[in-house]
Structure 1
């Protein structure tokens, strides 16, 4: 081939290549599988997924997919603490604990709008649900604040008016299920009350899947009277309530057994709370400002018996943000979040939130003269399940 022919052929090839549109490599954000992995790693704060869903139709399709919601929960494992429910003169009020843009508007979780009645107290708050009582209709009301769904359940016949402790929890048994987005999952209720002669504790378990209460379970009552509205704590797969004294009532959710165990060798009867110890076992917190005493229930390997061991003592006034000791200060515990290991405490006139693992504190309210029980609420907050105000949720009646 002559040199002129070679140049002519090269020029022709150049003209052909100039007319070819070379496709640019796809952006990582256009690869659904890769994008899904990126979005899964967004922080589990309320604003994360709603903001992502607002980017474009494709992103919204990904984050509103129920499979993505399950994967998001499984990746983060523990839901964030959104706030707490507290009884006030106007009824039960939700107070958010996060700052903007993750702060949930209090009216979004208005249980009064959800139930149609004035809610006077929350008896239990766990796995995205809150349970309270309608004494006029003698019913338990189970509400999922995020979706607004409300279930009514008849109170067991052995319960006398005004005397009842109840706990609500998710009943999903799927392998890999992570609590925190359980709004559509089945639930259980554990009721606990004193028998009519105050010598026995009586318990039952309700299943939303069957719509009925199970058999009556009984145990000898604690040496001192069992108090109502004592907040229960879920540790491993057992529920724990405090009696008026230092005895602890344990309900095992595996074999449905009810037992009373002795608490730590202390006499202080206020500012007590069952907590999770660092090793996952049950712990006992005693708050007497300026000190906080934490006990852990250990097993004696030589004798095979459980004993309470003083685990740690914390000088509260040394924690950043808490005031110095003052003998005139009123102080007591307000509530405990088992998911995040956070306690709420009142040191007059302020309310503090303290994370027991990191010992980081945050002041929530100032100059309060009175406060009520706090029921912490944790949940993943995904755009496919949230509704405004909780007033459009479905109501389900279980009166068997």
Structure 2
């Protein structure tokens, strides 16, 4: 819409249109097109309603922008040579979701698009992030970790960075005071500043599991320091932790637990980071019989369980707070995967091996590993299947899905945090946005 062009629709109708846009990228593009749309979307009442609508809307596939991974296919000695003479950047790479090939049932070649370096979003970072691996992400933030050893071969404490590829920020955390943890978890919160702006803060939690005891410290972006709790809790007698990915949100970190007596799944254990306590939630009986369920968070931050039963994916959601009992688990959906999976897998049926690797609740993105076929991205939003057909991602088998949230999307286009003071700054922001989405959007106009 041109700036001087009068709208052809009544204003009361125009003000209602954004309420029916379910895709954050489309909403950002609409806001960038003219002052009228930007004014509608900047309205505080609309933004407050957007938060509530996001909780009720379910999955929005465009919130998953892609995958970060570290390409370490070369020999370490070769990499160190490059590191010393600074002739090559080995910062983590990025593959946009939009570049993934739709799966058509046959073996495609590798994606023609060349993976992007993290330096494409954060200028000047270059080789300063050589050998860092992506270990966690949450709501636009990405955690990078570098492991190293001393001359005797003993592990040194990890060096950790947290960055936001959308905004170009890099947080250089003080070195961990202890040896590498067993888990990293990232917790992101929305904050309101004194002038009414919406900002984000984060906690990075490093966790060691020593026997039955949860030992952890966490870094807070507000205090800019590591914090060690006064007490550490022990796992309830008779239970053991299952080696599956943890789910983190709203100040809590969740793991699946098994029972030693029955040697089967039994509970979800939740670590309340600030409260320094553990709580337990019994699993539904059908999930207890499953061997490889995946624990995650739904769009509203609640717990979800995904499991494969033959060639069907089953979704369970917990309606309530952790510790409320198994009666609050609801079997929300059963998805028939036969129309999506490769033909070779369909022929194998009962002996086909399909493993759930990761799940992102806001976008509804599920990463699957299929024996003999590789990695796939399945969308719960539109039921599409895409091949993660990048040789190094498949071989290295270490990658981190990168998902944003609604407010990050709008803040990035200067709708929440206010317009940047310089046009050059706005252009850099738009350039990062277009690179992450691998798409072009209209440049922001002057206010």
The answer to whether structure 1 residue 160 and structure 2 residue 179 are counterparts is yes
Alpha carbons of structure 1 residues 285 and 60: separation in structure 2 relative to 1, 3 Å: same
Structure 2 equivalent of residue 208 of structure 1: 221
Larger Rg: 1
Structure 2 equivalent of residue 355 of structure 1: 379
Contact 2:307–2:314 at 8 Å: present in 1 too?
yes
Q: 2:252 aligns with which of 215, 232, 238?
A: 238
Q: CA deviation at 1:386?
A: 2.5
- Unpaired runs of 5+ in structure 2? 55-59, 74-89, 101-112, 149-156, 259-263, 414-425, 434-447
Q: Which has the higher helix share?
A: 2
Q: How does 1:333-352 map to 2 (within 5 A)?
A: 333-347=356-370, 348-352=372-376
Q: 2:305 aligns with which of 284, 287, 291?
A: 284
Secondary structure of the residue aligned to 1:336 is: strand
Contact 1:319–1:359 at 8 Å: present in 2 too?
no
TM-score (structure 1 length as normaliser): 0.65
Contact 1:263–1:308 at 8 Å: present in 2 too?
no
Q: Distance in 2 between matches of 1:360 and 1:152?
A: 39
Q: CA deviation at 1:208?
A: 0.9
Q: Mean alpha-carbon deviation: is it higher for 276-285 or for 87-96?
A: 276-285
Secondary structure of the residue aligned to 1:116 is: helix
Q: How does 1:315-330 map to 2 (within 5 A)?
A: 316-320=336-340, 323=343, 324-326=346-348, 329-330=352-353
How many residue pairs get aligned? The number is 342
Structure 2 equivalent of residue 273 of structure 1: 294
Structure 2 equivalent of residue 98 of structure 1: 98
Q: Distance in 1 between matches of 2:11 and 2:330?
A: 52
Q: How does 1:1-400 map to 2 (within 5 A)?
A: 27-28=6-7, 44=23, 46=25, 49=28, 53=32, 59=34, 75=50, 77=54, 80-89=63-72, 92-98=92-98, 106-107=115-116, 109-110=118-119, 113=125, 116-136=128-148, 138-157=158-177, 159-161=178-180, 163-174=181-192, 185-195=200-210, 198-216=211-229, 217-221=231-235, 223-224=239-240, 227=243, 230-234=244-248, 238-242=252-256, 246=265, 248-252=268-272, 255-259=275-279, 261=281, 263=283, 266=288, 268-270=290-292, 272-276=293-297, 281-287=302-308, 289-297=310-318, 305-306=325-326, 311=331, 314=334, 316-320=336-340, 323=343, 324-326=346-348, 329-347=352-370, 348-356=372-380, 358=381, 360-365=383-388, 370=395, 372-379=397-404, 380=409, 382-383=412-413, 384=426, 386=429
Q: Deviations over 1:74-102 (max 9, x none)?
A: 637477221222454357432222369xx
Secondary structure of the residue aligned to 1:98 is: helix
Q: Mean alpha-carbon deviation: is it higher for 241-250 or for 209-218?
A: 241-250
Alpha carbons of structure 1 residues 387 and 85: separation in structure 2 relative to 1, 3 Å: same
Alignment RMSD, CA only?
A: 4.8
